[in-house]
Amino acid sequence: MSFNFVDLFSCGGGMSTGFAKNGHKSIGAVDLEVAKPSHGIGATFCNDTYERNLGLRPMSADLAVTGPDEVASHFGFKPGDVDVLISCAPCTGFSQKQSRNHVLDDGRNSLVARAAVFAEAWRPKYVVIENVKELLRGRHKHHFQGLHRGLTDLGYDVFAEIHDLKDFGLPQSRIRSLIVAKLGGAFHLDLPKAPLRTVRDAIGHLPPIAAGEPNADDPMHVCPSIKGHSLARMQAIPKDGGSWTDLTEEQAHLRIPSMNVEKPGSFPDVYGRLAWDKPAPTITRECSHPGNGRYSHPEQDRLLSVREMALLQGFPPDYFFEGSLSFKYRQIGDAVPPMIANMIADAIAADAEGRGAAPDQMRMAI
């Protein structure tokens, strides 16, 4: 069966692409397209990417103040038209990779609760949420607890678990909270396990490229140029999984200052190469620079291309990203992997058709 969905915080369309793959229809999407406070609205170009690939132009709006009636009016649908509500609020304020989050409660974290506001107005059969693991277990998990109470009061049964998405075939270790709420009945999200997929499995077939020069057959197979000292550092890092910690004392001049002041072994992934026969580490929104993580090609002296990064994130091989090169990378790092979204959509369709988990498998883990 097919169903209509609305995607809040739609970014570049990762979740929507996974749902649309099997014929489910996006009847609305909303994203403010703000990368950081200093950037203006529309800076990330993610709505352009969404429209190009999914054929619907998202509403550019702040969901902290924009309500269900405004969104429904903008797209011309009625509350009863929404079968599935997707609401993947920004994760930056929850992630423990941001040191300030150990103390401060980022104001954006309150956006998680907006899912209950829209669910109350539209009464979708299912509500789907993906976020970092800290949403369920971190210092600021009270935001999820408030959402849980709100959805429960509306008659939803809430399923919530933490999984490493590599267990389901994503060629990347990506630990995430997966949440599905069902109106008027229990739901169990039982995604099928898959053999481990590696970097080689995902990108080993792509042709080599030089840094800064796009592939003639695929404009997304492109990465930033790299020169001078940065290129020399990249060339010195061992192939197939090496990092800056492998630089010898004779190569100390290639280190950046922070490498000399950090404790030995600190942040080993920065300026690191991926290993061919392992899943990639988590791809984040900062993946546009080799100094932000283990984002360099296993063999070639360059950052992974946009296409390579997208394939590791589970995007289709023909997906097109709009905007500047840095924002293409950002859209990928911010996305919900479409292949995982597709599996969630399949699980919801099976449940709606009565093919869901047996009653003794139903459970809620918070």
Instruction: Show which residues are catalytic.
Output: 91
Strand ranges in the chain using DSSP code E only, listed in sequence order: 4-8, 25-30, 84-87, 126-132, 156-164, 175-183
Give 361's contacts (C-beta < 8 A, 6+ positions apart).
Answer: 188, 190
Strand 126-132 vs strand 84-87: parallel, antiparallel, or unpaired?
parallel
Task: Give, rounded to a whole angstrom, the gap between the first and last alpha carbons of the chain.
Answer: 30
Task: Say which amino acid occupies 178.
Answer: L
Report CA-CA distances (Å) from 346 to 3, 205, 288, 341.
11, 28, 32, 9
Give 111's contacts (C-beta < 8 A, 6+ positions apart).
Answer: 9, 63, 64, 89, 90
Report CA-CA distances (Å) from 105 to 43, 71, 178.
25, 28, 21
Strand 126-132 vs strand 25-30: parallel, antiparallel, or unpaired?
unpaired
d(CA 15, CA 189): 16
